[in-house]
Amino acid sequence: MRALTLLSSGLLIPLSLFSQDSTAKPSTPFRRGQWAAQFTVGSSFGSIGFLKFRSPTRALVLDVQLGGFHAESSVQDSTGASQFSGVNSGAFTQLRFGWRRYGGGEPKIATHYTFGLLAGFDHDAASGSGTSAQRNSWSWGLFGDLGATYLVTQKLGLGAMASGSLAYTTSTTETQPSGGRAHYWQLGGSAVSASLVATLFF
């Protein structure tokens, strides 16, 4: 019974943080109904997002991560001339929707944490030597982040954020001219990654 009580308390605490009275005295300079645009740059990704404040300390977050690459290779024949040998390209996008909680304390520093849902699509294609292959992957999962923003002005904030995720991924690979097709799935998480964030408040 004691374990059940502790478990119930653990589940209710996060919910209570987001159900507090929005009319309470705000501890941040934000206001209900305010919008913001968030630009994130990390070691392996970049994103653009939008925030809609539901109270001075709570906001909904919609964030889009984008990535891609294109590479071509060549070889030299016996005469020293370059001959095209293959191409490899890919594109990645991930949509994140979550709930953010802000905390105050310092006049110009706002700490925050976010948790929510993610969905992504990944496409890779390669060709060369008369063969080609392409892979399409879909992913669904959860994410969370923790960060802080320094308010340079009322309209501009600069900060840093650490984030991690857990996702289920399904993938299909097709090869030509054989017409082969392979399917696989995986469940995995990303290590905590750090990023720099610039936020414009409206």
Within-domain flag for 6: no
Whether 64 shows a pLDDT value over 60: the answer reads yes
Tell whether 13 is covered by a domain: no
The Cα-based distances of 174 to 121, 128, 142 in angstroms read 16, 15, 28
pTM (two decimals): 0.76
Number of domains in the chain: 1
Per-residue pLDDT averaged across 103-122, rounded?
90
Residue 166 lies in a domain: yes
Sequence-distant (≥ 6) Cβ neighbours of residue 86 within 8 angstroms: 72, 73, 126, 127, 128, 129
User: Each residue of 1-27: pLDDT tens digit?
Assistant: 443 343 344 434 344 444 444 444 557
Query: pLDDT confidence of 117, banded at 50, 70, 90?
Result: very high
**21, part of any domain:** no
Question: Are residues 53 and 30 in contact, defined by beta-carbon separation less than 8 angstroms?
Answer: yes
> Residue 112 is part of which domain span?
27-72+81-201
Could you tell me if residue 20 is inside a domain? no
Tokens of 121: 């699509």
46-55 and 58-76: which strand pairing? antiparallel
pLDDT confidence band for 150 (50 / 70 / 90): very high
**Mean of per-residue pLDDT scores for the chain:** 83
Q: Is 31 in a helix, a strand, or coil?
A: coil
Using alpha carbons, select from 153, 163, 145 the residue that is nearest to residue 200.
153
Q: Is residue 39 part of a domain?
A: yes
Distance CA 174, CA 153 (A): 52
CATH number of domain containing 87 = 2.40.160.20
Q: Is pLDDT of 68 > 90?
A: no
Is 19 a domain residue? no
